[in-house]
Amino acid sequence: MTAQAKPQTGREHEVGTLAAPVLTLDLNREIEQLKSEGRWQSGHTAKTLVKYSDFRVVLIVMKAGGRLEKHRTEGRISVQTLHGRIRFSTAERSVELAAGQMLTLEHDIFHDVEGIADSAFLLTIAWLEAFSVR
């Protein structure tokens, strides 16, 4: 099931059905689509796959050397590498994640991400009730 695409602004965009009782996604197809877009050449691009008020899943593709600069989220996150290799860093430690590896991070911790190789990963964000997005 698809919906008409919204105008694209920035590096992240949303396309299609983002919330339903059951969603089925072809991650390999989504990765290839993102890699075919010019925005990927600038270092990284992302697409929101699932969007609820308290839960998001974002697919991010990153070129080797691409970076998501230091930032934080109000929600807890998980990062699951699907392809390639990324470096995930906080003030306390730096972790390299290869395909098939995952990490979780508590809310409000500053972090950055760097592509060691051309990579794709899923970012999942779950907000605390007090911070739930409306």
Q: Tell me, what CATH number does 68's domain have?
A: 2.60.120.10
* Residue-range definition of the domain harbouring residue 59: 48-134
Instruction: Count how many domains the chain has.
Output: 1
| pLDDT at res. 9 | 35
Residue 19 lies in a domain: no
Q: Across the chain, what does the average pLDDT equal?
A: 86
**Angle CA(72)–CA(105)–CA(121) in degrees, nearest 5?**
85
Q: What is the pLDDT of residues 80-133, one digit of tens each?
A: 999 999 999 999 999 999 999 999 999 999 999 999 999 999 999 998 765 545
Residue 21 lies in a domain: no
Residue 39: what residue type?
R
Residue 36 lies in a domain: no
Is there a contact between 121 and 82 (Cβ–Cβ < 8 Å)?
A: yes
CA 48 to each of CA 4, 18, 95, 101: distance values in angstroms, whole numbers, following the listed order? 15, 8, 24, 21
Residue 43 lies in a domain: no
Residue 15 lies in a domain: no
More confident residue, 121 or 14: 121
Cα 128 from chain centroid? 19
Residue 94 lies in a domain: yes
**pTM (2 decimals)?**
0.83
Residue 3 lies in a domain: no
Residue 86 lies in a domain: yes
Share of the chain above pLDDT 70, in %: 84
